[in-house]
Amino acid sequence: MKDVIILAIESSCDETACAIVKNGKEILSSKVTTQIDVHTLYGGVVPEIASRIHVENISIIIKEALKEANMSVDDVDAIAFTQGPGLIGSLHIGVLAAKTLAWAYNKPLVPVHHLSGHIYANAFVGDLQFPLLALVVSGGHSELVYMRQDYDFQVIGSTLDDAIGEAYDKVGRVLNLPYPGGPKIDKLAKEGKPIYKLPKPKVDSPLDFSFSGLKSAIMQSISRLEKKGEQLNVADMCCSFQETALSALWDRVEYALNIYDVKQFVLAGGVAANSRLREIVQEKMEKDHPNISYIIPPLRCCTDNAAMIGASGYIAYQKGIKADYSVGAMASMDLDNHFD
């Protein structure tokens, strides 16, 4: 069978990325420029600045990805791009670049949902097996997704307030750690102990998440310590927060694994880079679910990148999902059956 080469573009938040992917499985090149250094100055992503930097970076990153794969746009079969969800101004730059390339080189345009990209990042490790349960945990999302087959997405649980990555970042801010808090908390937690008692988030529905209460609980804890004249141990607080948040997260996964009959569990999204979460998945799956296979995505495919959009775009392309030149970016976009 002829190889299918996808050029993929991702620009939904503060990473400008382009990748060339072969048959949805092999990364021929994957280039990501992050804007973290700039947004750190403001303690979070400033949408207006993000769009401007995407404009500066997009052509450079596409050229670099093609160069590394030793290809020209003529060699690719389709142009895949993140249509949504994300920051509208940021998405817009990627959509425009994809449309321009598709028009200039007469290539099909394949729209991709950002979260499906995160899920299909696992295809770089092994074949996805269905029915499948995916835990998608990122800066904007905490979702449990059930998939009966390729490209059949059913969101069975989601956050009622903050996404878990957002909670990491907000707690990071409370603890005076630079943006983004997630990787810093991950690192500091290794040096701490879970000595601070934080209430486990309570949610009535067993498949939904809630993380906003944890930030408030930490703020209350800090002010209690201050009143008593005691010093806060930041590493211990990072560890306490992480253990409480991840334990609440895993309770939901456990519930879903027990009621849905799945062949495979996959982890997805920026928070999948968390070392403790990776450890928990491995431990729990091997001990409690030896009959369900599991995949943890490669570290470089956890946080936003375009290779994952190429992996998902490959399946979309095979399914005949295409966009015309009137396609636009979508700031919010449901995952459930989004291209039916």
Residue from 169, 186, 208, 304 touching Zn ion (CB under 5 A): that is 304
* Residue bearing tokens 């930030």: 215
Question: What are the Cα distances from residue 88, in Å, to 18, 292, 324, 331?
Answer: 18, 38, 19, 5
Q: Is the dihedral of CA 80, 83, 84, 86 positive or negative?
A: positive
Residue from 11, 82, 244, 303 touching ligand KG4 (CB under 6 A): that is 303
Residue from 138, 159, 240, 305 touching Zn ion (CB under 5 A): that is 138
Closer residue to ligand KG4 (CB): 94 or 139: 139
Q: Which of residues 257-276 bind ligand KG4 (CB under 6 A)?
A: 269-271, 273-274
166 binds Zn ion (CB under 5 A): no
Residue from 111, 183, 192, 201 touching ligand KG4 (CB under 6 A): that is 183
Phi, psi dihedral angles at 193 (to 5 degrees)? -125, 150
Give DSSP secondary structure letters for 278-314: HHHHHHHHHHH-TTSEEE---GGGTSS-SHHHHHHHH
Choose the binding region for ligand KG4 from 40-48, 87-95, 136-144, 148-156 (rule: CB under 6 A).
136-144
* C-alpha neighbours within 13 Å on the C-beta side of residue 208: 9
Closer residue to ligand KG4 (CB): 303 or 312: 303
Closer residue to ligand KG4 (CB): 111 or 182: 182
- Report how far residue 236's alpha carbon sits from residue 284's, in angstroms, rounded to the nearest whole number: 24
Choose the binding region for ligand KG4 from 17-25, 38-46, 162-170, 248-256 (rule: CB under 6 A).
162-170
Residue nearest to ligand KG4 (CB): 270
Give DSSP secondary structure letters for 139-191: SS-EEEEEESSTT-EEEEEEBSS--HHHHHHHHHHHTTPPSPHHHHHHHHHTT
Report the nearest approach of ligand KG4 to the CB of residue 118 (Å): 6
Residues that bind ligand KG4 (CB under 6 A): 13, 138-140, 165, 168-169, 180-183, 186, 269-271, 273-274, 303-304
Residues that bind Zn ion (CB under 5 A): 138, 304
